[in-house]
Amino acid sequence: MEDTAGMQIYPRKLGGHVYYYAQRTFREKIDPAAHGKTKGSGKSRVRTEIIYLGTAEHIVEALTTARKPLEVRHRAFGFVAAAYQTAVEIGLVKLLQEHIDGSRFGLPRGQYFLLAILNRLEHATSKARMGEWAEDTVLPSLLDFNPKQLNSQTFWYVTDDVISERALREARKEKPELADDLFAGLDDETFRKIEEAVVGNLQRQYHVYGDILLYDTTNFFTYIEEPVRAKLARTGHNKDCHHHLRQVGLALCVDKQWGIPLFYRLYRGNSQDAKTFGQIVGDLLEALRAGFTHIEQLVLVLDKGNNSEDNFAALQDQVKWVGSLAPSHYEDLMAMPLKDYEGQWGECRYHRDRRTVMGIDCALVLTYNDTLKRKQEHSLENALQKLEKQIRDKWNSYKRPPKGMPAGITSLLNESHYKKCIKLRRKRGQLVIERTGEVDKRRRHFGKNLLFCANPEAESGWIIEQYRAKDRIEDDFKLLKDPELIRWRPCRHWTDTKIRAFGFCCVMALVLIRVMELKAARAGLRMSPRVLKEELADLQEITMVFDTHCADIQITARGSIQQQLWDLYNLSTAENALTRHNSSAHPQSGQSLTRNENR
């Protein structure tokens, strides 16, 4: 029975028992091809449809007895829908449609990138498996697409429509020097326009303060092997100690309070931090001036790896900056006894000085934290013991005592961050491991940080506070590398244009999760991105199939916190959209689907 309109229920008494029937009367064209109700539209006949319902007892039993479904299906709803709603709210969806228009393989080009961004957050997979991932979410129903259209090949073609690999190769033929350019000669104007517009939207909607910004760099290893087409992927000092693998660098600038990305660049993996900053600083300052015109004095918080006279000269008269200095360059300050530290800020003791740093008049603040000292001592001792064990195990693995120092052992030592702390020698055929004076030298610096500010009048406590905020950008790097969230590493793309597109998706995913965190915090729900994801991921769409004509769709029950998140991210809108598209969610035509909201 497809149509129940006009149905009425009637009792019939047969043999002393009362039975109930549903009945309706309607007209039907004799010729199935005829339509209309006016004269001349074709003859019709009266039809009556009767459905036996049973006795009253049977009807009550059917209504009150829980039916056991033949099949139960689950699809991810809460987190992916909240991320999508956030993308709509900050204008990312609209910007992708405007700047990446047209379609490929039946899908809007911009939608490919939106799905890739959501995939990094919800369950990061390879592009080849994105279709499988999408099938297990409500996104095909929300966005009305066939998940089987998603694969690595379609993503490749769509990316090439936006940033052409062929055009890049031709440009490098004309200008060979582009191959060694810091940014590999990429023309990524489309992505930059979207990124800048998103930052503008964030300032207007959420009043993201840009008076104090954090800048730092990191890198992501790849498994790219010969032949290597990517010029961005180079071997260098890898922050995850995969020095033998090619890597891609990321320079990132975020706001101090929430860690929302405001500026970033992908660059060659073999570029040293200070040189990288020297080539990026022009674009960075231009972006800051354009995006934060209402702020009189911008402050940039930097890591000491970016220190150089040229970089400081470029920043002078543009912004003020806070950073740290290499302790080895100021041994007179580092040797100062703690009793001479005249200031106290929180749990820190500090000593203030004023000196010229690389041609700039600066305030210096030397801090000491006893808790930090104990942590550093514990970390050093654990690391040295681990290294010594690795060396001894390697030595004992040889069948015969080596006559000299084996290359395998010297390689272990040379690849370690603590190679200057240990000295190896042979004595009577046995390995002797000795700790050098470098260990005591490092310990003398434990608990201490030497900070500086390009504003010599800045207060000491303020300088300490701003530099400590650098932890926020370190948290961003952890999110980018988190296997349960964005999972940038390893970057499995092997051409520069695809690496750039992948980087765009990862950073936009970081923007979304940080904005979601901001919204939750302002609503009184302070939770980390991981906890936020866990709370929302518990909300799933469940379809219970009872027979070939009947299925029941529900959203899982939610607790008080989840209800607040439901309202905060406007998930009712997503649920209503699913109701409108429920036939696309389950392709079997003719099913009678009902949706219940289980509160």
Give the model confidence (pLDDT) of 169-219 as tens digits: 888 888 888 888 888 888 899 999 999 999 999 988 988 877 889 999 999
* pLDDT at residue 580 in the model: 60
Average pLDDT rounded to a whole number, residues 259-273: 92
Strands (E), 84-221: 103-104, 107-108, 212-221
424-463 pLDDT, tens digit per residue, is 998 888 889 999 999 998 999 999 999 999 999 999 999 9
Q: For residue 494, how far is the Cα from the chain centroid?
A: 20
Kindly state the DSSP code that residue 69 receives in the 8-state scheme. Answer: P
* pLDDT at residue 582 in the model: 54
Read off φ and ψ for residue 255, nearest 5 degrees. -80, 155
CATH (residue range 179-303+470-522): 3.30.420
Average pLDDT rounded to a whole number, residues 133-138: 93
Q: How confident is the model at residue 238 (pLDDT cuts 50, 70, 90)?
A: confident
Q: Residue count of the chain, please give it.
A: 599
Q: Is the pLDDT of residue 279 over 50?
A: yes
Q: Is the pLDDT of residue 584 over 60?
A: no
Strands (E), 101-224: 103-104, 107-108, 212-221
* pLDDT at residue 581 in the model: 53
Handedness of CA 418, 422, 425, 428 (dihedral sign): negative
* pLDDT at residue 577 in the model: 81
Rounded percentage of the chain residues whose pLDDT exceeds 90:
47
Pairwise CA distance, residues 357 & 352, whole Å: 14
Pairwise CA distance, residues 593 & 548, whole Å: 11
* pLDDT at residue 502 in the model: 94
User: What radius of gyration do the chain's Cα atoms show?
Assistant: 32
Average pLDDT rounded to a whole number, residues 378-393: 93
* pLDDT at residue 462 in the model: 94
77-92 pLDDT, tens digit per residue, is 999 999 999 999 999 9
Q: How confident is the model at residue 586 (pLDDT cuts 50, 70, 90)?
A: very low
Residue 500 CB coordination number (10 Å): 24
Least-confidence region, from 4-8, 14-18, 473-477, 562-566? 4-8
* pLDDT at residue 565 in the model: 95
Of 331, 322, 287, 596, which is closest to residue 469 (Cα–Cα)?
322
Question: Which burial class, exposed, middle or buried, applies to 283 when counting CB atoms under 10 A from its CB (0-12, 13-18, 19+)?
Answer: middle
Of 443, 461, 41, 511, which is closest to residue 264 (Cα–Cα)?
511
Q: How confident is the model at residue 260 (pLDDT cuts 50, 70, 90)?
A: very high
3-state DSSP assignment of residue 126: coil
3-state DSSP assignment of residue 47: strand
* pLDDT at residue 590 in the model: 32
Average pLDDT rounded to a whole number, residues 277-289: 87
Residues of the chain with CATH 3.30.420: 179-303+470-522
Angle of helix 78-89 relative to helix 109-123, nearest 10 degrees, comes to 130
50-63 pLDDT, tens digit per residue, is 888 889 988 888 78
Rounded percentage of the chain residues whose pLDDT exceeds 70:
95
11-69 pLDDT, tens digit per residue, is 998 888 899 999 988 888 887 777 777 777 788 888 888 888 889 988 888 788 777 77
* pLDDT at residue 596 in the model: 46
Beta bridge partners of 432: 425
Of 98, 121, 119, which is closest to residue 109 (Cα–Cα)?
98
Which amino acid is present at 232? Answer: L
Arithmetic mean of pLDDT over the chain = 87
How big, in percent rounded to 5, are the helix, strand and coil portions of the chain?
Answer: 45, 25, 30
CB 155 within 8 A of CB 105: no
Of 185, 195, 243, 183, which is closest to residue 219 (Cα–Cα)?
243
pTM score of the predicted model: 0.82
Average pLDDT rounded to a whole number, residues 250-278: 92
Of 133, 120, 87, which is closest to residue 481 (Cα–Cα)?
120
Pairwise CA distance, residues 92 & 512, whole Å: 9
Beta bridge partners of 262: none
* Whole-Å CA distances, 361 to 296, 329, 333, 380: 21, 16, 17, 35
Q: How confident is the model at residue 3 (pLDDT cuts 50, 70, 90)?
A: low
Pairwise CA distance, residues 594 & 592, whole Å: 7
* pLDDT at residue 579 in the model: 67
3-state DSSP assignment of residue 210: coil
* pLDDT at residue 591 in the model: 37
Average pLDDT rounded to a whole number, residues 237-257: 85
**All residues at 6 or more sequence positions from 362 whose CB lies less than 8 Å from its CB, including other chains:** 354, 355, 356, 452, 453, 454, 456
Q: Is the pLDDT of residue 4 over 70?
A: no
Average pLDDT rounded to a whole number, residues 538-551: 81
The sheet carrying 71-76 orders its strands as 71-76, 540-547, 550-555, 592-597
Q: How confident is the model at residue 589 (pLDDT cuts 50, 70, 90)?
A: very low
Least-confidence region, from 166-180, 363-377, 453-467, 525-539? 166-180
Average pLDDT rounded to a whole number, residues 375-400: 92
Which ranges of 397-445 would DSSP assign to H, the alpha helix? 407-414, 437-445
Pairwise CA distance, residues 573 & 567, whole Å: 10
Of 73, 76, 141, which is closest to residue 538 (Cα–Cα)?
76
Q: Which residue has the tokens 């349960």?
A: 484
Question: Which burial class, exposed, middle or buried, applies to 448 when counting CB atoms under 10 A from its CB (0-12, 13-18, 19+)?
Answer: buried
CB 418 within 8 A of CB 387: yes
Q: Is the pLDDT of residue 228 over 90?
A: no
Q: Is the pLDDT of residue 293 over 90?
A: no
Average pLDDT rounded to a whole number, residues 148-153: 87
3-state DSSP assignment of residue 92: helix
Pairwise CA distance, residues 152 & 130, whole Å: 8
Q: Is the pLDDT of residue 597 over 60?
A: no
* pLDDT at residue 324 in the model: 93
Pairwise CA distance, residues 344 & 342, whole Å: 7
Q: Is the pLDDT of residue 400 over 90?
A: no
Q: Which residue has the tokens 């007179």?
A: 332
Q: Is the pLDDT of residue 351 over 80?
A: yes
More confident residue, 376 or 318: 376
Pairwise CA distance, residues 579 & 564, whole Å: 22
